Amino acid sequence: MDYPIDTSGQFLAISSVLTGFSAIELQGTGSADAIWATATTIVGAPILGDLLTDCGELFEKSKDIDALEAAFAKRVIADPRYGPVAKNFIGAWYTGVWAALPSAWCDAYGASGSDGTFVISPTVYKSGLQWKAFGGTPRGGVPTGHGAWNRPPLTPINTNAPKP
Amino acid sequence: MSLTHKFAELVRAIEPQDGAAQTMPLVPLRKPRQIPDADSLRDHLQIALELELSTLPPYLTAMASIVDGTNLDVSGLIRSVMMEEMLHMVLAANVLNAIGGNPVLAKKGVAPEYPTALPDSDGSFLVSVEPLSLGAIQTFMRIEQPTPKHTPAKADGYATIGQFYAAIMEAIVRLSKKGEIRFDHNPGRQVSPSDYYNGHGNVIRVHDSYSAIEALKEITHQGEGNDDTIFESGHVVDGVGYELAHYYRFMEINLGRRFNEGDTPESGPTGALLPVDWSSVKNMISNPKRGWFTADDPRGKLMDECNHSWAMLLRELQAGFRGDKQGIHRAIPWMMKLKYQAQALMNVPSGIAGMMLGPSFEWPEEV
């Protein structure tokens, strides 16, 4: 499968595999730069660079999205070095929260002192994929009009979600 | 022949010969065409509905293009105008329903394709779906431009919205005097203050010619002001002051200064500075179109979702104007969603000149 040549495009491409949302939808949230910058500060450019390069290999070798997801499960999520970082990307895209990396990971690979569990920014929180996924909006953050809470969500819940 | 001689010859040629002046036919001064009958009045009120509707996409887009958390005053001003345009649609629909019309919104072609002239106007300027800019604000001022005194009413090819509504009001008075229109049609469709609340202006139930005129005056006063004042007709808002007519709200943004109580159209705004950060605006391409992308392009799909919300908004409003009053309430969340989807599109590169996409407000094919 095709893999972009620029870093931000590559980050969107791997994020798309990790989250199940298209790269364009992820771009639409406007959160990519903030999440990438947070990860760069905490995880560091060398590990992220390796992650993007290795993912590129997985894209090249995979014929379709199913094969690519299987490859990601094996080579990224299950990988001791990449796994916790990739999981944090999923969490950040969905909830806007960067979770503190496991201490074992920090002992092995060294995270920056700014690691911890925190909301990346109010905007990233509001644009979180969790709201899109269930057709809701963050309370108090994204107004939906008077009385809208009394009605079912405008977007039907995605029952077509990928198999666990 | 010298030039002077040539000129004298020309003058002679156009000067009437003896006696000719009396026989030359006079071109009759044409009176602007009035709205002749009830059917035509209903057509014009439908156009009024379309006219109010056509302002929503440009206002909503300008507001959505403002970077989150910046230009709060500007965003608030545009939002307040937009909410009143919704009220204007309600008022126009009330008049249309009272005289036996049937408001149409959810149909391809009712909402215009941008850029567009205002529906049925003289076409002297075009309105675009574009991000906030000085130029966009000046177009908004042109939309809401006050009608100079003694300007004749004009039903078709109007220069200002006020002229258009003046022609409608004239027809309402004339046709109701002649007994050609009644105002007792579909009373169940009348939207009343209890059906619609947004904190801006009055919802007026229409049941006779007086309430019809009152409803239409509410529209023009909110838009362009009244009798040489910058304010809507004496509306006290929350007991703190008077509300500016739309034209003057946009003028505040245009000049970067607030109006003070006591200011007039001539004085312009003399109040506090209204800082506008023109650079905290998304770099959106003007008048984007769904057709730029193939059917399965993810950018096109994102635009489809946005257009779906637009269609749903129009459907719910139409239902709301045809007796299912809850439709108006159901329309609001779609409008909010439309704004968020528009903002998402403004984060997505269009692939053209390094600019971002935006909402296209097109009627989706599948609906």
| Residues B301, B208 share a domain | no
The tokens of B271 are what?
A: 């109040």
pLDDT per residue over B19-50, tens digit each? Answer: 554 555 566 555 667 999 999 999 999 999 99
| Assigned domain for B14 exists | no
Which chain A residues touch B332 with a CB distance below 8 Å? 144-146, 148
Nearest CA in chain A to B357: A28
User: Cα dist. B162→B137, B175, B320 in Å?
Assistant: 19, 20, 26
User: Cα dist. A140→A120, A121, A123, A143 in Å?
Assistant: 18, 15, 13, 6
Q: Pick from B281, B298, B330: which residue ends a domain?
A: B281
- For residues B111-127, average pLDDT: 96
| Domain tally, chain B | 2
Which chain A residues touch B336 with a CB distance below 8 Å? 142-145, 148
For chain A, give the number of residues: 164
Q: Output the pLDDT for position A17.
A: 97
Nearest CA in chain B to A147: B329
Q: Output the pLDDT for position B119.
A: 95
| Residues B310, B185 share a domain | no
Q: Output the pLDDT for position B15.
A: 60
Distance from CA of B302 to the nearest CA of A (A): 7
Do the chains contact at B329 and A25, CB–CB below 8 Å? no
| Assigned domain for B365 exists | no
pLDDT per residue over B327-366, tens digit each? Answer: 988 898 899 999 999 999 999 999 999 999 999 999 997 6
Do the chains contact at A28 and B348, CB–CB below 8 Å? yes
Backbone angles phi, psi at A119, to 5 degrees: -80, 125
Q: Pick from B265, B281, B297: which residue ends a domain?
A: B281
| Assigned domain for B6 exists | no
| Residues B317, B232 share a domain | no
Q: Output the pLDDT for position A140.
A: 83
Which one of A24, A143, A146 has the shortest CB-CB distance to B302?
Answer: A24
| Residues B323, B228 share a domain | no
- For residues B107-134, average pLDDT: 96
Do the chains contact at A30 and B344, CB–CB below 8 Å? yes
Q: Output the pLDDT for position A71.
A: 97
Its domain, for residue B55, covers 38-281
Q: Output the pLDDT for position B120.
A: 94
Which chain A residues touch B347 with a CB distance below 8 Å? 27-30
| Residues B338, B245 share a domain | no
Of residues B262 and B89, more confidence is placed in B89
| Residues B46, B91 share a domain | yes
Q: Output the pLDDT for position B238.
A: 38
pLDDT over 80 (residue B229) = no
Which chain B residues touch A154 with a CB distance below 8 Å? 309, 312, 333-334, 337
Per-chain mean pLDDT for chain B: 89
3-state secondary structure of B117: coil
Which chain B residues touch A27 with a CB distance below 8 Å? 347-349
Do the chains contact at B332 and A22, CB–CB below 8 Å? no
Which chain B residues touch A30 with a CB distance below 8 Å? 343-344, 347
Answer yes or no: are the C-beta atoms of B171 and B187 closer than 8 Å.
no
Nearest CA in chain A to B350: A24
Q: Output the pLDDT for position B125.
A: 96
Backbone angles phi, psi at B302, to 5 degrees: -65, -40
Backbone angles phi, psi at B127, to 5 degrees: -110, 135
Q: What ipTM is given for this predicted complex?
A: 0.88
Distance CA B105, CA A59 (A): 47
| Assigned domain for B173 exists | yes
Concatenated DSSP letters of A47-77: HHHHHHHHHHHHHHH-SSHHHHHHHHIIIII
Report domain extents, chain A: 7-150
pLDDT per residue over B189-213, tens digit each? Answer: 999 988 876 666 789 999 999 999 9
Q: What is the residue-level pLDDT of chain A in tens, covering all 164 positions? A: 899 999 999 999 999 999 999 999 999 999 999 999 999 999 999 999 999 999 999 999 999 999 999 999 999 999 999 999 999 999 999 999 999 999 999 999 988 888 999 999 999 999 999 998 888 889 888 888 877 888 887 776 656 666 55
Distance from CA of B41 to the nearest CA of A (A): 34
| Residues B311, B205 share a domain | no
- For residues B211-234, average pLDDT: 80
Which chain B residues touch A151 with a CB distance below 8 Å? 330, 333
| Assigned domain for B11 exists | no
Does any CB of chain B come closer than 8 Å to the CB of residue A139?
no
Q: Output the pLDDT for position B275.
A: 93
Q: Output the pLDDT for position B240.
A: 35
| A-B Cβ pairs (cutoff 8 Å, strict) | 52
| Residues B218, B100 share a domain | yes
Q: Output the pLDDT for position A112.
A: 85
pLDDT per residue over B236-286, tens digit each? Answer: 443 334 578 999 999 999 999 999 888 888 899 999 999 999 999 999 999
Could you tell me the pTM of the whole model?
A: 0.88
| Residues B250, B167 share a domain | yes
| Residues B246, B186 share a domain | yes
Q: Output the pLDDT for position B11.
A: 62
Q: Output the pLDDT for position B237.
A: 45
Which CATH number do you get for residue B189? Answer: 1.20.1260.10
Do the chains contact at B334 and A154, CB–CB below 8 Å? yes
Which chain A residues touch B302 with a CB distance below 8 Å? 24-25, 28
Does any CB of chain A come closer than 8 Å to the CB of residue B39?
no
Q: Output the pLDDT for position B32.
A: 63
Does any CB of chain A come closer than 8 Å to the CB of residue B298?
yes
| Residues B253, B161 share a domain | yes
Q: Pick from B263, B281, B299: which residue ends a domain?
A: B281
Do the chains contact at A151 and B330, CB–CB below 8 Å? yes
| Residues B274, B296 share a domain | no
Does any CB of chain B come closer than 8 Å to the CB of residue A148?
yes
Answer yes or no: are the C-beta atoms of B212 and B101 closer than 8 Å.
no
Does any CB of chain A come closer than 8 Å to the CB of residue B313?
no
| Assigned domain for B5 exists | no
Q: What angle do CA B243, B248, B252 make, to 5 degrees?
A: 105
Do the chains contact at A144 and B301, CB–CB below 8 Å? no
Q: Output the pLDDT for position A150.
A: 82
Do the chains contact at B333 and A23, CB–CB below 8 Å? no
Q: Output the pLDDT for position B305.
A: 93
Does any CB of chain B come closer than 8 Å to the CB of residue A147?
yes
